[in-house]
Amino acid sequence: MIGNRLRAGAVLTAAVALLWSSAGLALAQGKKKEAEEKNRTLSGVVLDPNDSAVAGAIVQLKNTKTLQVRSFITKEDGSYFFGGLDPDVDYTVKADHQGMSSAQRTISSFDSRKRPVVNLKLEKK
């Protein structure tokens, strides 16, 4: 009889723990989704002086608040993408490839677009 009560108590404890962990997971997923909805993305294409897409260009994104720099190497079609950007921060973006650079562009926190597209054109230095 005591053994049955101990097993029943263990099962109940396990069930409660499972419920708590499920609730915690649902809360964490809800917060993650909320953060994703708040965050911004930035994408675009890097072009050479002849307006052709440039694969392998290095695009640098700088957070002007923390000075953190993120990099992306453009794909075959010249495209780049940055996700998880704070909408309350200004960013600068520029591209470099084989001795050429683009002008530095600013993505302002006052720009309300959630998915701005900034194409970068390389010029000889």
Which tens digits make up the pLDDT trace of 44-73?
999 999 999 999 999 999 999 999 999 999
- Relative to beta strand 40-47, strand 120-124 is parallel
Q: Answer yes or no: is pLDDT of 8 > 50.
A: yes
Does one domain contain both 45 and 84? yes
Full-model pTM = 0.71
Does one domain contain both 46 and 80? yes
The residue range of the domain holding 51 is 40-124
CB contact set of 20 (below 8 Å; sequence gap of 6+) = none
Does one domain contain both 60 and 15? no
* Backbone φ, ψ for residue 95 (5° rounding): -130, 150
Does one domain contain both 20 and 73? no
Does one domain contain both 32 and 56? no
| Six-digit token string for 73 | 């190497």
Domain count, the chain: 2
Angle at 75 between CA 70 and CA 81, to 5 degrees: 40
